[in-house]
């Protein structure tokens, strides 16, 4: 059963926002470092090829495309919510997709546009939120990668994301599970011991379990069709897919 329509609007009729200004400010400070593979965004650069392949393969299966084709996503319209400086937008554009990247941080969008211009890529970047987008727009694929653990209301956010999907479209989400292991690895390990991320990047109580995510998606008439854990091997310095969803995980959802 879908969530009620007024869950994404306030009493003035304007769209409610799930954006946390403190979270936006946190990532805005990193806008100059998004494209530095050796800087503070190094972990994201290392995991990015895995995210790209996972999304590309899911889209090719769904829309019956040849995954080996250089333009395998041609004709597909993709919305990347919380796109940062475009680490996913650019490769998907090169694969032929029409990509719209949105982010509430003006400095992130400026960095994204600058980098795309240098690469002669045409990407529709917008400094906005999914709640502020034109409700008539629809997409074949909606991405929310490492976003839901930073919003103020997961249910409301996913309600708006689901509304942006075309019939038969795909939503792909990556996030972090909430348990003792994720606290030890994603916060203590990544932020305090290894210093992969600035301290305070994540709040453990905002992590979302797979069951909670499945419930929110079900409320929006979406069902998980694929899911996988994402694990790091310190010996190989490499991220890979796994059945272990205790910490990082990704899901693909479709309409039911």
Q: How many C-beta neighbours within 10 Å does residue 204 have?
A: 16
CATH number for 248 = 3.40.50.150
Position 81 scores a pLDDT of: 98
The stretch 34-52 carries a mean pLDDT of 91
Confidence bin at 196 (pLDDT 50/70/90): low
148 within 8 A of 173, measured Cβ to Cβ = yes
DSSP letter at 3 equals P
132 against 189, higher pLDDT: 132
pLDDT digits (tens, 9 = 90+) for 211-246: 999 999 999 999 999 999 999 887 788 889 999 999
| 11, pLDDT greater than 60 | no
Max mean pLDDT among 42-46, 47-51, 232-236 falls in 47-51
Q: In what order do the strands lie in the sheet with 139-145?
A: 124-127, 98-103, 77-81, 139-145, 165-176, 248-255, 222-233, 238-242
Whether the pTM exceeds 0.85: the reply is yes
Report how many domains make up the chain. 1
| Structural domain that includes position 250 | 6-174+205-255
29 against 52, higher pLDDT: 52
Is residue 194 a part of any domain in this protein?
no
Residue with tokens 């854990």: 229
Is residue 195 a part of any domain in this protein?
no
Is residue 90 a part of any domain in this protein?
yes
Q: What is the dihedral of CA 29, 32, 37, 39, to 10 degrees?
A: -50
pLDDT digits (tens, 9 = 90+) for 92-150: 999 999 999 999 999 999 999 999 999 999 999 999 999 999 989 999 999 999 999 98
The count of residues in the chain is 256
DSSP string, 136-148: T--EEEEEEET-G
Is residue 148 a part of any domain in this protein?
yes
Q: What backbone torsions phi and psi does residue 231 show, to the nearest 5 degrees?
A: -125, 150
- Burial category of 87 from C-beta neighbours within 10 Å (exposed 0-12, middle 13-18, buried 19 and up): buried
Is residue 89 a part of any domain in this protein?
yes
Is residue 112 a part of any domain in this protein?
yes
Is residue 161 a part of any domain in this protein?
yes
| 2, pLDDT greater than 50 | no
Is residue 48 a part of any domain in this protein?
yes
Position 206 scores a pLDDT of: 81
Return mean pLDDT, the chain.
87
Residue whose C-alpha is closest to residue 190's, from 47, 235, 182: 182
Cα separation, 143 vs 177, whole angstroms: 18
| 4, pLDDT greater than 50 | no
């Amino acid at each position: 059963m879908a969530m009620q329509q007024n869950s994404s609007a306030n009493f003035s009729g304007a769209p409610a926002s799930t954006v946390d200004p403190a979270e936006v400010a946190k990532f805005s400070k990193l806008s100059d470092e998004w494209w530095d593979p050796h800087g503070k965004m190094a972990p994201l650069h290392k995991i990015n090829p895995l995210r790209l392949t996972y999304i590309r393969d899911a889209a090719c299966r769904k829309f019956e495309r040849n995954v080996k084709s250089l333009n395998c996503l041609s004709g597909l319209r993709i919305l990347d919510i919380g796109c940062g400086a475009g680490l996913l937008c650019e490769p998907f554009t090169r694969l032929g997709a029409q990509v719209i990247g949105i982010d509430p941080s003006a400095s992130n969008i400026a960095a994204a546009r600058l980098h795309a211009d240098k690469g002669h890529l045409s990407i529709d970047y917008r400094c906005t939120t999914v709640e502020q987008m034109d409700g008539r727009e629809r997409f074949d694929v909606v991405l929310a990668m490492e976003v839901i653990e930073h919003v103020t209301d997961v249910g409301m956010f996913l309600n708006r994301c689901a509304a942006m999907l075309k019939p038969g479209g795909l939503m792909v989400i990556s996030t972090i599970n909430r348990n003792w292991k994720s606290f030890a690895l994603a916060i203590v390990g990544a932020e305090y011991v290894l210093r992969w991320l600035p301290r305070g990047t994540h709040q453990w109580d905002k992590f979302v379990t797979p069951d909670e995510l499945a419930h929110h998606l079900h409320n929006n008439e979406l069902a998980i069709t694929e899911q996988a854990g994402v694990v790091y091997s310190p010996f190989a310095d490499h991220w890979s897919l796994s059945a272990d969803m205790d910490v990082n995980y990704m899901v693909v959802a479709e309409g039911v």
